[in-house]
């Protein structure tokens, strides 16, 4: 969707394209989720998390809940990064209290079975949810579509669960060609998924590389930036202007390399990343996103005020989207989120 589409001229999109605002636009990773009582109520009615993601009306409602409650500049579609491996035919489950569980990929036969042909059909409910959200929201607010980056998805697919990443890296050393093939397939699938989200009304895209940490320098291009660039190129062949944010969690010390090799318009910073150093590395034109500690947001008080003000000051020399360095945690008081919204918008 391009010029003329609802949301294309929103503050978030303009900031990503390099236009600094008097007050940075704001949205929060996991702004839809368990810190909201209305989400917990909706979640209780949708027992299976994946079925919830594939129910367009429920997913649209979850996406819109934080938009009703907070003056956020963007909604992010309620979905999950693991819908892509699921749509490629892998077994994905969400176990209560355990997070995601996948049947681990074992070898070439499993990679050969990944089936791109069903991707868009299986993910059609996600695109319908995007259409519903875009229709319900005014054009001042952007709608963000997203996907997991190839290496993050590959890690889940190889290990079968979150947390430990060592086995996935060992697998990449032991099976270099197979892992390169897997990353290329995933980059293509992610690119197609992002294109379909733009077609359904997304104004900007975020690629979550949640597991960019612990990657040796000599593997960073091969596992992280090259596959992301492949996905970015797939998107840009169809939508050359839609802005893309890359979030290399755990690799804040490599933002210069990450930005130049992926060519994303915006770089998301994690909790530990240094905003000032990222600005120095990337210059005054590249949009930075982040990076309030979700624990400061949960804690509130004077510490929260100081943390917000320090981020605003450190990012003030160029385009910035205010966000967390990771997702909102369930115990976060709504009053603290309200406070951050007002502070960032200069209202308190
Ligand atoms: O508001 C938003 O940010 C949009 C929705 C969104 C979800 N997951 C919903 C969700 C987004 C952008 C994601 C991305 C995602 N999912 C990532 C990348 C970001 C990151 O955290 O690094 C990852 C690694 C996943 C995989 C995943 N999904 C995990 C590890 C978990 C379990 C953790 C938890 O909080 O329970 C999920 C489940 C999940 N995805 C929930 C939500 C709201 C919780 C489900 C519930 O309500 O029980």
Q: Whose alpha carbon is nearest atom 43 of ligand 1?
A: 33
Q: Whose alpha carbon is nearest atom 34 of ligand 1?
A: 99
Q: Which atom of ligand 1 is nearest to the CA of 99?
A: 32
List pLDDT tens digits, range 209-229. 999 999 999 999 999 999 999
Q: Whose alpha carbon is nearest atom 33 of ligand 1?
A: 99
DSSP string across 253-303: GGHHHHHHHH--SEEE--TTS-HHHHHHHH-SSSEEEEEE-HHHHHH-HHH
Look-up of token digits 């804690």: 299
Res 96: pLDDT: 82
Our answer on whether the CB atom of 159 is closer than 6 Å to any ligand 1 atom is no
Catalytic machinery residues: 30, 34, 43, 80, 156
Q: At what angle do helices 124-136 and 56-69 cross, to 10 degrees?
A: 40
Query: Ligand 1 centroid vs 80 CA: distance in angstroms?
Result: 6
Mean predicted lDDT score pLDDT of the chain: 96
Res 162: pLDDT: 85
Res 198: pLDDT: 98
Res 95: pLDDT: 86
DSSP string across 33-63: STTSHHHHHHHHH--SHHHHHT-HHHHHHHH
Query: Ligand 1 centroid vs 145 CA: distance in angstroms?
Result: 14
Res 275: pLDDT: 96
Query: Ligand 1 centroid vs 11 CA: distance in angstroms?
Result: 25
Res 2: pLDDT: 56
Question: Is 334 within 8 Å of 69 (Cβ atoms)?
Answer: yes
CA distance 103 to 158: 8
Parts of the chain with a pLDDT under 50: none
Query: Euclidean distance between the first and final Cα of the chain, in Å?
Result: 36
């Amino acid at each position: 969707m391009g010029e003329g589409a609802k949301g294309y001229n929103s503050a978030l999109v303009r900031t990503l394209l390099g236009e600094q605002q008097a007050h940075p636009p704001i949205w929060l990773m996991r702004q839809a989720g368990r810190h909201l009582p209305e989400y917990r109520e909706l979640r209780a009615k949708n027992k299976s998390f994946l079925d919830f993601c594939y129910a367009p009306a429920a997913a649209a409602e979850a996406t819109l809940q934080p938009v009703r409650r907070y003056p956020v500049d963007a909604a992010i579609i309620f979905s999950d990064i693991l819908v892509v491996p699921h749509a490629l035919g892998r077994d994905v489950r969400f176990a209560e209290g355990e997070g995601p569980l996948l049947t681990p990929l074992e070898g070439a036969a499993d990679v050969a079975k990944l089936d791109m042909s069903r991707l868009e059909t299986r993910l059609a409910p996600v695109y319908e949810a995007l259409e519903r959200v875009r229709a319900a929201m005014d054009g001042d607010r952007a709608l963000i579509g997203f996907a997991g980056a190839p290496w993050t998805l590959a890690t889940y697919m190889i290990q079968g669960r979150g947390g430990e990443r060592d086995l996935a890296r060992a697998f990449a050393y032991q099976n270099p060609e197979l892992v390169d093939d897997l990353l290329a397939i995933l980059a293509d699938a992610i690119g197609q998924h992002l294109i379909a989200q733009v077609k359904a009304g997304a104004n900007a895209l975020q690629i979550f590389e949640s597991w960019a940490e612990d990657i040796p320098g000599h593997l960073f291009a091969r596992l992280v930036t090259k596959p992301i660039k492949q996905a970015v190129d797939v998107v840009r062949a169809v939508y050359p202007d839609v802005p893309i944010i890359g979030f290399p969690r755990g690799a804040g010390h490599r933002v210069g390399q990450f930005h130049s090799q992926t060519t994303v318009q915006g770089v998301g910073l994690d909790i530990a990343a240094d905003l000032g150093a990222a600005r120095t590395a990337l210059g005054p034109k590249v949009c930075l996103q982040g990076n309030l500690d979700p624990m400061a947001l949960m804690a509130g008080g004077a510490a929260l005020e100081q943390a917000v003000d320090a981020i605003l000051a450190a990012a003030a020399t160029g385009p910035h989207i205010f966000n967390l360095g990771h997702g909102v945690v369930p115990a976060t008081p709504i009053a603290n989120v309200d406070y951050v919204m007002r502070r960032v918008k200069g209202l308190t």
